Structure 1
Amino acid sequence: MLFSPKHQQLKSNKRGFGPVCYSAPLTAQTLQWVCTVALAVLAVSSGTAVQKSFIVPLFALQAPSSIFSWIKSNYGSWTAFLALLVHLFFFIPGGLVLPLTALLLVIVAPYQVMNLRGTQGGAVVSLVIAAYLAYQHFSRAGSLQSAFDQGSIIATLAIKCITAVPCLLLICS
């Protein structure tokens, strides 16, 4: 009696036994955290030939507000002061100068510049910077295939993340 109408009726009334897919909503804050982590990875990554000075303004436009409130507070000011003192008296490798520059840029940035954050204009500027970094990375790698080589796969994934986030922020806003 496998094909009886009663069996088919019972089978169609069952709910909740199939596969369930749930995707957490991608909020602007989540996307900003993804971009910030990708920027940090790209800043310390050695498998790319991008100009790392472009990472600092992109960080200033895409960092979450919780990071900004910490940097703008007394803790950020003291951190920048102590980092500058260390930089004056000791040699700091090039990779560690970028966080200091980002810290100082956020602290001294005028209010009008920081108003770009979270707007469509800020997302467009971020997209232009990210597209330029992607162009540099992929053109210097030679091809898309060679960009995924063992030494530069992490940098390539970070470049893709920092390019996708402003696109998603433009679409969502």
Structure 2
Amino acid sequence: MAVKILKVIDDRDLQKLQNESKCCIIVNGLVFDVTSFYEHPGGYDLFKEYEGKDATAAFNEIGHSVNAKKLMKNYLIGIMKNSDRYKNKINTRMVEDKVEYIEYSAQDEEEGEETAAIKPELDQTKDKVADAEKVNYPMVSLIILLFSIAYYYLFLKG
């Protein structure tokens, strides 16, 4: 299994990259330099909208093919400091010349993708429960009123 050494990137590093006219986005705690990938089907504007920001929700909402996810590996430049992935790999941390690095493998990528796939499913389940709990009280009141009137005319008045 191939192990990569990823630079740990914090907010200050992201700002430096932006100042260097680099367009970096964060997906599942990983930092991607997508400056050279402006021909993305979503377009340049999509990248600019998420430049220096976490694009995980948008990335997972749209859904991407296996080939697209493989292509992303070419743009991977680091891991966000204090992200869940960083915290899980803190024991592989190395520091050279005041620059922090983390070991990262293909297995880590698979685990991250599974976790990212589960989160939207949980959110959708919460939304379904919330929708089911919504009650249209005026409609319920109207139905009760109509049944009461019908009951009165059918059984009590007659």
Q: Which structure is richer in relative contact order (CA contacts within 8 A, separation 6 or more)?
A: 1
On whether the aligned pair clears a TM of 0.5, the verdict is no
Structure whose residues are more often strand by fraction: 2
Q: Choose between structure 1 and 2: higher helix proportion.
A: 1
